[in-house]
């Protein structure tokens, strides 16, 4: 009888301790908001879902946060770095352009570092000066009203064609023909000037990605996700084509 009593007492103590620990954890870690990205290419604006209990609220992702997210992704992929490449988004309703700053690592970019400009290029916010390539982005937004995002990169395989001032023509049997068949290479123009984007409107009508002679690559699309996707697909195929010629 005493053994049974002690066994019951032991389990009772364990149950009491478990309840106390559970209450302490609930107080120390209150339920917060969880953020989950929607699957890619669902709609024109990246969206997030805020989950709190059983309630679901959808809100358009803040453009500065979106720019930071893709800046990190693009540097992790080696498409941009502290000295090369820049990324932007436009809010056409408010007349604002969100763009990466000059000479700062994109992987370390936060929302305070995002440059907010008016359509003329006057800086309204951001703790660093805007990139010197603003005119390239501005020209695309002015000439291509359907484009809301721009990625400028010096990714190596496509930039090799740009340095040679040659169009990048895709072979006829690649699935990428659904997106583009030829990436036009524009004539050389000095970086940071209006010369660099001469002819870009026509080039982007043929393909969402084009080459800047002696310079690099630019991708423009309705969303930053699509602009990034086009750039990644084109660069990946250029790499594959190069490797196939070594066999």
Half-sphere exposure of 148 (CA within 13 A, CB side): 18
Treating both helix axes as pointing N-terminal to C-terminal, what angle do 224-244 and 63-76 enclose, rounded to 10 degrees? 10
Structure tokens at 45: 């604006």
The answer to whether the beta carbons of residues 139 and 202 sit under 8 Å apart is no
Angstrom distance (rounded) from CA 106 to CA 183: 26
Cα 70 to Cα 224: distance, rounded to the nearest angstrom: 8
Other beta carbons less than 10 A from residue 132's beta carbon = 13
Which ranges of the chain would DSSP assign to H, the alpha helix? 2-28, 63-76, 134-143, 156-163, 200-206, 224-244
Q: Which of 70, 84, 109 is nearest to 224 (CA)?
A: 70
Asked if 225 is an active-site residue, the reply is: no
Rounded to whole angstroms, how far apart are CA atoms 92 and 105? 27
Q: DSSP per residue over 109-154, as a string?
A: --GGG-EEEETT--EEE-SSPBPTTHHHHHHHHHH-TT--EEEEE-
Q: Which of 66, 75, 133, 232 is catalytic?
A: 133
Which positions are catalytic?
Answer: 133
């Amino acid at each position: 009888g005493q053994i049974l009593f002690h066994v019951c007492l032991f389990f009772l103590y364990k149950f009491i301790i478990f309840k106390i620990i559970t209450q302490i954890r609930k107080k120390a870690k209150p339920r917060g908001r969880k953020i989950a990205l929607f699957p890619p290419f669902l709609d024109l604006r990246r969206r997030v879902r805020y989950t709190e209990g059983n309630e679901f609220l959808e809100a358009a992702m803040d453009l500065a946060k979106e720019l930071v997210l893709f800046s990190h992704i693009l540097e992790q992929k080696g498409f941009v770095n502290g000295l090369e490449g820049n990324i932007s988004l436009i809010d056409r309703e408010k007349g604002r352009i969100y763009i990466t700053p000059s000479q700062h690592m994109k992987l370390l970019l936060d929302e305070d570092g995002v440059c907010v400009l008016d359509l003329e290029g006057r800086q309204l916010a951001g703790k660093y000066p805007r990139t010197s390539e603003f005119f390239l982005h501005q020209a695309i937004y002015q000439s291509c009203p359907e484009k809301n995002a721009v990625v400028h990169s010096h990714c190596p395989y496509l930039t090799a064609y740009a340095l040679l001032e040659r169009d990048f023509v895709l072979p006829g049997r690649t699935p990428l023909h659904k997106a583009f068949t030829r990436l036009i290479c524009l004539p050389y123009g000095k970086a940071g000037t209006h010369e660099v984007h001469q002819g870009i409107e026509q080039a982007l009508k043929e393909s969402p990605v084009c080459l800047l002679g002696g310079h690099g690559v630019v991708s423009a699309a309705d969303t930053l996700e699509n602009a990034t996707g086009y750039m990644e697909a084109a660069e990946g195929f250029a790499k594959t084509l190069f490797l196939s010629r070594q066999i």
